[in-house]
Every structure is written in structure tokens, then in C-alpha cells.
Amino acid sequence: MTTFDPTAPSFVVHIADVELEPEPLDPVQILSGEPVVSGKVLWESADGTQLRGIWQITPGVVTDTEADELFVVVSGRATIEVEGGETLDVGPGDACVLREGDRTTWTVHETLRKAYHISL
């Protein structure tokens, strides 16, 4: 995971053009398909509790335990089932908030790319 210097000046990136780095999934998370995950941390707080970046996943079905996160979908589509809660359909332009500890199942219909902010 590459991070930018948190003391660096303000910057802009075009989300669709950012080169992402592989982030291998734990095979136990994959329920179907052969999804591939990649991402790039754009900024991290000095204490490591705040992350901002870009993340992408190709089609398939995976499980996850979420962090406290706000993300905006830039491209692609997915259905996120929150255990004991809502089913969220997300696509381009959608903002989604996930609660820390939510256990989710992601069904990725089209390669999904998102910009995110995570609080740890």
C-alpha cells in the first residue's frame, strides 16, 4: 500500500486514471467467481486512523467485515447485503455509509471503483 505524505499540499487526481495496486483477497472471503481487488491509499493521517483512497473490485461475490466508511461509487454496480440489515444497491454517483463491524456480502455485477474515507 503506497501512501502520500500527509504533510503534502492539497492535490487532485482523476479517479478513473489512478493506477491501482493489487490487494489480494483472503480466499475464504470469496463465495463465487474470481473477483480481483486493487486499491490505492491517497492520504493517511499521521496516526493511521484516517484513510482516503480509491478501491476497485471485479465481478463476483465476497464477504467482508466493514470499517467505518463513507464511499462514492465512480463506476460499476454492486449489491451489498448487510447481515441483519438492509440490502444496498450501489452504482455510479451513489454515496454509501457502512458502519464499523457490519458483516456484508458484496455481489459485484460490474467492476466497481469507489473513492473512500475510512475511520479506524
pLDDT of residue 33: 98
Segment 63-77 shows an average pLDDT of: 98
Q: Are 70 and 53 in contact (CB under 8 A)?
A: no
pLDDT digits (tens, 9 = 90+) for 1-50: 445 565 778 999 999 999 999 999 999 999 999 999 999 999 999 899 99
Nearest-CA neighbor of 35 among 89, 104, 90, 108? 108
Q: CB-based contacts of 84: which residues, under 8 Å, 6+ apart? A: none
Output the pLDDT for position 91.
98
Q: Which domains does the chain have, with CATH numbers?
A: 15-119 (2.60.120.10)
> Residue 27: helix, strand or coil by DSSP?
helix
Separation between Cα atoms, residue 88 and residue 109, nearest integer Å:
13
Q: What pLDDT is recorded for position 13?
A: 95
Predicted TM-score (pTM) of the model is 0.92
